[in-house]
Structure 1
């Protein structure tokens, strides 16, 4: 078998599963504030969607959750990508109506809003600028920054539109993690899994992607060099899915990760990997459109 060195250009982030301390409270937040809809619930687990078909977020309630005063390695935020600027304007209007704290950043490639759920799980809601406007520097990195968002422009773009929750076409655009060591994270996510670096922030953060996207994943050591994994009984991330075109691509990635010395678990619904900080990655095939 000839394994490719990088992930297939059509790779997409699928769903994200996170741990919460109170499912009822979180469901109210993710419906009313974020704008997702409940697709189904089963005991302590709920699946949320934007279009009524594709699961974007799974909430899993943990009993007697340990609330972490300090962030360990694990979830920094997961990022919900809306299809256009008017949609992000409507998101902003709803967040303002919700009277919660909202962070924001114009990253040149995108405009982003940042919030936290009741368990301090980080959430980004953003829209991309057209890909042909993204610029690279002399080293080939995408040029990104954190400028103030044009709030008035976002509100104007959504003037006269009605908020009905997140629209069809909304997806998980990327995930961003605290890690304990950037070199170790690069060894796993780039050298073994096959993402490609797209932006470096000194020695403190690395953005990586497949297919030329600005980033499918952010990795940082802002929780401290050597930060330990967030414990399983605290809110945080269980896993995210990586959608690949077919079983052959999944097999090639799994073999590459296995050859690099990491554990690989195979099941009927895909292949599961675990990063050095106990974050799960499920490799699945891209769902076929109806």
Structure 2
């Protein structure tokens, strides 16, 4: 018998192996704006948005002072952080621009708009917002028409003025 996961199922959090907790907290909390919820000694920290118990776990249990994972190997491609509105994404992007943080990409996917970057351990991070479902592009057969096109970064920045 075929099983389909429930419609309201969500991915609750990501837990990342990092080389340095303080460096990761500076990126995720100071730059991106997450809040520190708790720490487990000096080897793990849990951060969130909006008071949730944690959206991101950071630990050095097996990775303290380790180099980044190889780009051409198996592992996490990126963690995607969903912002509630385009304006919220614009504010996050503006903070990155003002901090002169390196952006690795920016795309319009039809269903969403996304900014790509790497955290201090070279873990990929996608910052994005979803367009309203009724605005998602469809193919003639009714299935989703997702694509990757350049994102107009100037227009995105204007959203946060």
TM-score (norm 2): 0.89
CA deviation profile, 1:213-234 (whole Å, cap 9, x unmatched): xxxxxxxxxxxxxxxxxxxxxx
Aligned to 1:58: 57
Aligned to 1:202: none
The structure whose residues are more often strand, as a share, is 1
Alignment of 1:1-290 (within 5 A): 5-43=3-41, 44-61=43-60, 62-102=63-103, 103-138=105-140, 141-159=143-161
| Structure 1 runs of 4+ with >6 Å offset | none
Q: Higher relative contact order by CA 8 Å / sep ≥ 6: 1 or 2? A: 1
Aligned to 1:206: none
How many residue pairs get matched? Answer: 157
Q: Which runs of 5+ in 1 are unaligned?
A: 160-290
* Structure 1: distance between partners of 2:112 and 2:27: 25
Q: Per the alignment, in what secondary structure is the counterpart of residue 25 of structure 1?
A: helix
* Contact 2:20-2:65 at 8 Å conserved across structures: no
* Structure 2: distance between partners of 1:142 and 1:39: 37
Superposition CA RMSD, Å: 1.7
Q: Which runs of 5+ in 2 are unaligned?
A: none
TM-score (norm 1): 0.51
* Structure 2: distance between partners of 1:68 and 1:9: 33
Larger radius of gyration: 1
